[in-house]
Amino acid sequence: MSFQMKPYPEWSWSLSRDQMFHACKRQYFYHYYASHGGWLLTAAPEAQIAYRLKKLTNLYLVLGEAVHTAAQKLIDLRERSQAYPTQDQIVTYIRNTLNAAFQESKQRERWWGYPKQYTMLHEMYYEGELPRDRVDAVGSRISVCAEHLLASDSWQEIRDSGDITVLEVEKLKDFIVNDEKIYVKLDVLYRRGDGTYVITDWKTGKVSEKNEEQLWLYALYIHEYYGVPIEQIEIRTEYLLDGICVRSTPDEDNIMMIQHKIKASLQSMKSYLDDTYYNRPLPVERFAGAGDPSVCRFCNFRQICPEKQ
């Protein structure tokens, strides 16, 4: 039987989807609906363009992904009882990743033909060059994040404790809440010998309280998927730029709050559907743009959005 593309994407919910929905409805439409099937050579030109714009990244995201990959590799080496890299080696890896992204971004035609295989930086695509201030800002974070990753509470506990069982590292998982599929991707989840499940989230940006909801969602996932009592879950944010580890233990109120958020968010998102069974959206005109220059400036879809500021 030949493969048949569904006319609309599968319905699901994630916190990042919710954040985009509330930041800009038009961006949300382009990202989740207009780009659907755009990877196919037979797709309409509009879908192909939207898909390629969806794949744009930026310097800060590449830095974050490189640091996350470095952390993942450290844990993998621990699982295989192999030697760990030095701080200088991690710095070199991160710099090489950023340099590779820059070099690939200069090959626009190659990226346009293979957007999944190659990288295109938002800065290069829209500005034709890397802003000096952004290069300096990202560059200044590389060695600091590498140093603080190796010195972080979570990595030192994983590395040195003999009773740690690593359960998940950077795996996209899903679970069901009120008959709805919810996606999560934990940076690392491990279980200590005392039965505590520790969720660690690596951050390469500044300290922010906005990360609480994400960690409550992760705690809900651990509670539902693994059947772990809430009181046996510890959530951590490792702010690698500042070298700070923020720890907390979720409670029933936190879980209720994230469950309420999911329910309210799903209702809001589905109000923009013409058909909930097929996940068919309303016409694009019903998805208003943010109307905020600070949002539009960094949006991947500036090229095709008539409401860009």
Distances (CA, A) of 94 to 68, 76, 82, 101, 171: 10, 17, 20, 11, 21
pLDDT of residue 209: 65
Name residue 183's beta-bridge partners: 174
Q: Which residue has the higher pLDDT, 233 or 206?
A: 233
The residue ranges of every structural domain in the chain are 59-151, 157-250
pLDDT of residue 5: 79
Tens-digit pLDDT profile for residues 135-172 = 999 999 999 999 999 999 999 999 999 899 999 999 99
pTM (2 d.p.): 0.94
Query: What mean pLDDT is reported for the chain?
Result: 94
pLDDT of residue 1: 45
C-alpha neighbours within 13 Å on the C-beta side of residue 174 = 10
**Is it the case that residue 2 has pLDDT exceeding 60?**
no
Domain 157-250 is in which class?
A: alpha beta
Take residue 199 and report the two structure tokens written for it: 């969720």
Tens-digit pLDDT profile for residues 37-60 = 999 989 999 999 999 999 999 999
What dihedral angle (degrees, nearest 10) is formed by the CA atoms of 176, 215, 163, 175? 10
